[in-house]
Structure 1
Amino acid sequence: MTSKELLELAAKAADEKRGYDIIGLDVRELTSVADYYLICDASNERQVQAIAREIKDQAEKAGIEVKKLEGFDKARWILVDIGDVVCHVFHKEERNYYNLERLWGDAPVLALSSNDEA
């Protein structure tokens, strides 16, 4: 599975659990940590956990090792590291505060197929 396909898998998982404002950032030219960042948010802690859990479950189902899952208990900002894609699942308030889109403003924003279905 390519890193772009992995990004699409994560985006679809987030969309299935009703993640809001799902975007993909191409960070290949900006960092060696990952190829892509997925960023989305939810309005409450349970939904944030459900999205992160679905991303983890779908990655594992596809045979992808989940390298790290951080922040699950507090569910304000959960990071799901699935290798070439790092997923940031935010509570809406946290997303507005940390504003990763601005921090990684030089990264191209990708069109994701999960957003086309809306």
Structure 2
Amino acid sequence: MKQRKNKEVSSQELCQLVAKGMLEKKGQNIAILNLRNVKNAVADYFVICSGNSDTQIDAIADSIEEEVYKLSKIDPWHKEGKTNREWILIDYVDVVAHVFKKDLRKHYDLEELWGDAELTLIDESAA
């Protein structure tokens, strides 16, 4: 079982840091899926957002890592998608960030796939 190093930051706090990183670079349609009560879930939370271009998607991913590290000193356990910049996944074990190009997000529809999860939408105008 993989384990996060810094247990001083709860998975709920970590998911808020991820969302903050998304907001910093104008991530769109930010959704937090609370998977804690979903049987066989791979994490406590998924935090999902969309970007308009591969450049923006890359910037959002970098911003997530910067915000999380700055406030918690946690590095990602695993990352993928940085080369293609269409779907970047940043895995913090308990929290997984998904940064999608808009059309790809619709195609994979994680919100529907994990439909049993509690869904929270973030108001981007509050940033």
Of all paired residues, the percent bearing the same amino acid is 41
Larger Rg: 2
Match of 2:95 among 76, 85, 92: 85
Residue pairs, 1:14-25, within 5 angstroms: 14-25=22-33
* Shift in Å, 1:75: 0.5
Alignment check: 8 A CA contact 2:34 2:119 kept = yes
Distance 1:93 1:66 in 2: 26
Stretch of structure 1 that moved more, 26-35 or 102-111: 26-35
Q: Does 1:57 align with 2:66?
A: yes
Runs of at least 4 residues off by over 3 Å:
none
Match of 2:84 among 47, 60, 74: 74
Which sections of structure 1, spanning at least 5 residues, go unmatched? none
* Shift in Å, 1:29: 2.1
Residue pairs, 1:1-118, within 5 angstroms: 1-30=9-38, 31-61=40-70, 62-110=72-120, 112=122, 115=124, 117=126
Give the counterpart letter for 2:24 in structure 1.
Answer: E
Q: How many residues align?
A: 117
Distance 2:66 2:126 in 1: 22
> TM-score w.r.t. structure 2 length?
0.85
Which sections of structure 2, spanning at least 5 residues, go unmatched? 1-8
Aligned CA RMSD, in angstroms, stands at: 1.5
> TM-score w.r.t. structure 1 length?
0.91
- CA deviations over 1:34-90 (Å, ceiling 9, x no partner): 100001000100000100111112222221121111001101100001121000000
- CA deviations over 1:75-117 (Å, ceiling 9, x no partner): 11000011210000000010011111110111011254x6471
